[in-house]
Structure formats: C-alpha cells, structure tokens
Structure 1
Amino acid sequence: MMTSPPLFKFKFDLKQVSLLLCSFLFVSLACGQQEKLWLQFEGNSGPGKGKKIVLISGDDEYRSEEGMPMMAKILSAHHGFHTTVLFSIDPEKNEVVPNYKNNIPGLEHLRDADLVIMLIRFRELPDDQMKYIDEYIQAGKPIIGLRTSTHAFNYGKENKSPYAKYHWQSTVSEWEQGFGRKILGETWVAHHGHHAVEGTRALLDGIQAEAGHPVLKGVKDIWVASDVYTVKNLGEDAKVLIHGIPTKGMEPDTPINWGKSLMPIAWTQSYTSEKGNKGKVFTSTMGASVDLESEDLRRLIINAAYWCLEMENQIPEKAKADIVGDYKPTMFGFDNFRLGMKVTDFE
C-alpha cells in the first residue's frame, strides 16, 4: 500500500524549487545585463529635460566608442538630456568592435530622437539599419557630425542598396560626394596637417566671435591632438566658427606651423532633404577621444547641441562640461581599440 510523503518533506521541496528559480532568474538577469547592446542615461534636471539625443559611435581609428559615452554622460548629468549611445557590435560575441563595419544595433532609437551626434567612418550598414538614418534625414532633423563623419559611409561597387547614395564618393545626382558633402558640408579630401605628427590649434573666427555666435559661448582655448583636415567646398549658407592651423608637434604648447594655411574645423550649415524638410547641422573635424580631453571642445559640442535643438537662448555663459566619472582615452590609431569590451564596460 502506497503512502503520501510527509507534509514537512513536501514543504522542503517547494523551498528548494523556489531557491532554484530565484537563482535562475538572478543569473538570467545578470547575463541579460552583460549582453546590453547600447547605453542609455536618464537626464537629470536641466534645460534638456524631455529631449532625446542619440550618439552614434562607429569608427576604426579615433576611438569614438570611448568619446561618445563620455559626452552622453555630460549631456545627461549636467544638462538634463536623455541620451542613448550606439556602438559597432560584432554579433557573434556581442562585443564592441570598431572595425566591424556592418552592424550598429539600436538605430531604431532615431525614430524619436531630437538630435543625433555621430562619429562614424566608412560604414556599410544593412538596409534594415540604414533606413532609420535615412528616415531621420528625410524628416529634416538636426545633426552634429564629428571628425570622420564627413566620410561616414563606404558602399562596395556591387552593393545595390537604395542608400548607396550616402557613399563618400557618390556620383548620384543631388548626392554627389554623399552624406558628408550633402548633409555635413564636406566629404573626405586629405590630411592638411601631418597625421599623428602635428596637432591642431583652434582659432575662433573673429567675425562670428564678435557677433556673439551662441555656439562659441564660453569657448576660448582648444588644442587637439588630431590633425587639421583639408576642407574645400562648404555649402553656401555655411558659417565657419573656428579655423584650425597645424602645430609642430603633439603637445598643446608646441609652436604653430605658420607654413600651412588655415582650414575650417568647425562650422554650421543646413541641409534640405528630398522630402523638402530643412535640418540644422554642426560639423567639426575635431572629435577623437583624446581631443575630448579639451574642456572647451566639450563645451563647443554642448553649445552646438543646444543650438541644433533651437535652445540657443538657454546656453549658459559657460556651459558645464566637467567629465562624469573617470575618463582615460586611448590614443587614436588603427587596430588599437581595447579587445573584448562589452557595451557595459563603457557605462
């Protein structure tokens, strides 16, 4: 004759099951956090409260995967913006791999973004990701493009994507020289300074500074390690805010190389999408992660965010640009990114 198990035994088994379930949920949550594919920072109190900024990193040289999260934290902690940071991700390992040029998860966040800040280089994204960038452009929303974003996209000759017109050497009518030329004002031309040998001394445009251009508010002293780019063909409504001249070395106190001419290194302009919508643009050929050690460069980008969002009247006399947490950027260079990094390592 079979008998029922004792009641205390039944209760003990339930407790074991509960403990096992709790352990499983804890491990699952921990694993889920490790596999995060983008970062988000809630805005504290500030003028930007309620506005959403998406920062897109994705270049294989200037360590935007380090610089963009740092800027996002500043914009959220000091100015109240809600920020989302996207990365180039190797889908097999879910690791941040700047050399992986075909995958930036999370671009759907552009659908409700108020502003995009990007530093990307030679990406060839699949259509189901690229469509969000195109939708953003067609809506005429504002953009801040840094450094290599002038040559953000590089499509292979056999690629028949409808977005191949974004290619940095595009020959498509109305999209000649692609995203850089049409949207930001210039495509890739050349290094004007001696790359990785000469830095850049920034010289404020006297007319714009005297006129009190809001983007220059509180900006006085910028030196960066990245060199001056050649800029030849800015749009008709472009306003050059800062000119750059090479320095004879990679330290802020090295002399200026007066043998080389000035080049625009920061400007504003507008673009008009194929749907007829007009968008505001701020472009700077500065922006490497080590460049962003310059407080006034960080302040310039913050001011530009306010200006792009039609908030120029709320730009402080000296916008707070203090770094949030630790920031130890890697010197720019190909293949020198930190290996095995997960998105959460940049929080």
Structure 2
Amino acid sequence: RTATHAFTGPGAFLGDHPIPFGQFGRIVLGEQWVAHHGGHGSQGTRGVIVGEHADHPILRGVEDVFGPTDVYAVVNLTDDDVVLLDAGVTESLDPASALVDTEKNNPMHPLAWVHTYRAPNGTEGTSFCTTAGASVDFCSEDMRRMIVNATYFLTGLDVPDDANVAYVDPYHPSFFGFIKDEDWYRRADLQPEDLDLGTELKMKDPPNAPAWPFRN
C-alpha cells in the first residue's frame, strides 16, 4: 500500500537509468503518493473486478477483496498498465457495507494492477501493485489470495485454481494509525520468541483508531 511512497530524500538508485528515491513508486510500480480518495478511518475499500481482465491468473479464485483502509487516489497509470481491480469506496469499515452512491465511485480509481518498468541497469521488469495492504486488510481471505497469486505469477510459476491462504497461526493485526508515543514499543516489550511459529500475538490498536470488531 505505502510502497508507492516507500523512499524519501535526495538519493537515487543508480545505474544507466537512475531512479530518484521520490520517483520509485511512479517508475517501478506505476504510481506514487497522490492523495486519500476515500474517508480515512471511516470508509473502506471493496475490490471490483475489471471485466476485461477477469481471467487474469492473479485473480484466480479471487472474488471478494475488502479492506478497512480507505481508497488511495491513482492518476498516473497508462494504457500499458493492466488494471485487475478497481477500488470501490464503501459506506463504512464493515466488510458487508455497500458502495457509496456518489461521485467518489464514478469513476472508480484502480486498486490492483500489473506494471512494466525499466530497472536502473536498463532491463525491463514486471511488478504488481495494490493500494490495499495494511495489516488489517489481510483479514480478507481473497486479499491474501491475490497477493499469493501475484507471487506465483511474477516468479513464473503456475497459479493454483484456489491457493491455500489459511493462517499458519492466529492472526490478530493491530489497526493502522500513527503512534507518536516514543515509549509505545518499549512498553510492549516484544521479544523474538513472541513471533515464533505456534504463538498468538496481540498488540493494542494505536490511539484514536476506530473500533473494528471484524478481526478473525
């Protein structure tokens, strides 16, 4: 989600075709940070399959992608980008909520796409990007399946008809938000063994995060 604006500062990825840090998302993923389009913390995102690409391998077994993160504005894709899902703004953060019947969804912004880019050494590559992807978005089974499918696709493997995306251990993600308390993680006192296989980890939500009772 935030990989579109993953790097800041004056540096660059050097090579025959340098990529300034601030342009990483635009060049490698097809888009950079633009704006929040949906209501941050109040409206969610529902993936709407783009009909002409419904049979794309990345969408194999994918029907219902929902995330409580709001829709990001996407304005820089080109006709060469393959948009798989559009991003419908929902009325609330409830996974069952309907799409808003306003100009926010007319037209919809892209949510997931495949992009071809030129790397710093001059070779071409292919990337997959989605503006969903906060930890709570992965409570959506088909969100997880789409990411797994994209991994198969980009590595040249056959995408399964119905990829197994069941949790390995219980998954209780904290909600997104800014944590300005410098002692937040010190008080949490997390240890490497807290993330061992077979463990169940729960963290408090950041201050002012909305209530979201839809975690597994």
* Alignment TM-score, normalising by the size of structure 2: 0.80
Asked if 1:220 is matched to 2:63, the reply is yes
Which letter maps to 1:263? Answer: H
Contact 1:222 1:296 in 2 (8 A): yes
Shift of 1:245: 1.2
* Match in the other structure for 2:23: 178
Which residue of the partner structure matches residue 237 of structure 1? 80
Whole-angstrom distance in 2 between the partners of 1:257 and 1:236:
27
- Note the alpha carbon deviations across 1:143-199, whole angstroms, 9 max, x for none: xxxx000000111xxx5x4449xxxxxxx9865951010101100000000000000
Report how far residue 235 of structure 1 moved. 3.9
Match status 1:154 vs 2:3: no
Structure 2 residue matching 1:269: 3-state secondary structure: strand
Matches of 1:221 and 1:151, distance apart in 2: 26
Structure 2 SS opposite 1:179? helix
Structure-2 change in CA distance of 1:224 and 1:270 (3 Å): same
Q: Distance in 2 between matches of 1:323 and 1:162?
A: 37
**1-side partners of 2:133 and 2:120: how far apart?**
29
Say which of 310, 322, 331 aligns to 2:156.
310
Query: What amino acid is aligned across from residue 281 of structure 1 in structure 2?
Result: S
Q: Mark the CA change 1:343 to 1:231 in structure 2 (over 3 Å): closer, same or farther.
A: farther
* Contact 1:190–1:229 (CA under 8 A) maintained in structure 2: yes
The Cα offsets for residues 292-318 of structure 1, whole Å up to 9 and x where unpaired, read as 01000000000000110011xx21111
1:250 alignment partner, one of 83, 90, 93:
93
SS of structure 2 residue aligned to 1:290: helix
Paired residue for 1:47?
Answer: none
Distance 2:165 2:94 in 1: 22
1:268-279 matched pairs, under 5 angstroms: 268-279=114-125
Q: Which has the higher helix share?
A: 1
1:264 pairs, out of 93, 106, 110, with: 110
State the SS of the aligned residue for 2:128: strand
How far 1:252 sits from its partner (Å)? 1.1
Residue 204 (1) aligns with residue 53 (2):
no
Compute the displacement of 1:345 (Å).
Answer: 2.5
* 1:346 match: 195
Residues matched between the structures, number = 186
- Tell me the distance in 2 between the aligned counterparts of 1:205 and 1:346: 38
Q: Is the 8 A contact 1:216 1:300 kept in 2?
A: yes
**C-alpha distance in 1, partners of 2:20/2:53?**
29
Q: Is the 8 A contact 1:185 1:269 kept in 2?
A: yes
Letter in 2 for 1:342: Q
Q: Is the 8 A contact 2:82 2:115 kept in 1?
A: yes
Assess if the C-alpha contact under 8 Å between 1:175 and 1:182 holds in 2. no
> In the alignment, does 2:167 pair up with 1:323?
yes
Counterpart position of 2:33: 188
**Structure 1 residues 283, 216: closer, same or farther in 2, change over 3 A?**
same
C-alpha contact 1:235 1:269 (8 A) present in aligned 2? no
Which of these two proteins has the greater Rg computed from alpha carbons? Answer: 1
- Which amino acid in 2 is paired with 1:151? H
Aligned to 2:135, the other structure's residue is in SS state coil
Match in the other structure for 2:200: none
SS at match of 1:268: strand
Query: What's the C-alpha RMSD, in Å, of the aligned pairs?
Result: 2.2
Q: Is contact 1:189-1:231 (8 Å) kept?
A: yes
Runs of 4+ in 1 over 2 A off after TM superposition: 161-164, 172-177, 336-347
Conservation of the 8 A alpha-carbon contact between 2:19 and 2:120: no
Distance 2:48 2:192 in 1: 36
Deviates more, 1:328-337 or 1:255-264: 328-337
Residues 308 and 300 of structure 1: CA distance in aligned 2, closer, same or farther (over 3 Å): same
Same amino acid, percent of matched pairs:
39
2:57/2:149 contact within 8 Å kept? yes
1:84-141 CA deviation, whole Å, 9 max, x = no partner?
xxxxxxxxxxxxxxxxxxxxxxxxxxxxxxxxxxxxxxxxxxxxxxxxxxxxxxxxxx
Task: Look up the match of 1:137.
Answer: none
